[in-house]
Amino acid sequence: MTDDHTEDVPEAVRDRIQSDAFCDTLGIDIAVLEPGYAVTELLVTEDLLNFHGTPHGGAVYSVADAAFAAASNSRGEPAVALETNMSYLDAVDVGDTLTATAEETHVGGRTAEYEVVVDADGDRVATFRGRVYRPDA
Looking at residue 68, which CATH number applies to its domain?
A: 3.10.129.10
The answer to whether residue 6 sits within a structural domain is: no
Boundaries of domain holding 120: 11-133
The answer to whether residue 104 sits within a structural domain is: yes
The answer to whether residue 80 sits within a structural domain is: yes
pLDDT for 124 beyond 90: yes
Put simply, whether the predicted model's pTM sits higher than 0.95 gets the answer no
pLDDT confidence bin for 3, thresholds 50/70/90: very low
Domain count along the chain: 1
User: What backbone torsions phi and psi does residue 33 show, to the nearest 5 degrees?
Assistant: -140, 115
pLDDT confidence bin for 2, thresholds 50/70/90: very low
pLDDT for 80 beyond 70: yes
The answer to whether residue 2 sits within a structural domain is: no
Tell me what the mean pLDDT of segment 47-62 comes to: 95
For 27-33, which contacts have Cβ atoms below 8 Å and span 24 or more sequence positions? 28/62, 28/63, 28/66, 30/66, 30/70, 31/99, 33/9, 33/70, 33/71, 33/74
> CA angle 8-9-15, nearest 5°?
140
Task: State the alpha helices, DSSP H only, in the chain.
Answer: 11-18, 21-26, 57-73
112 touches 79 (CB < 8 A): yes
CA distance 99 to 77: 25
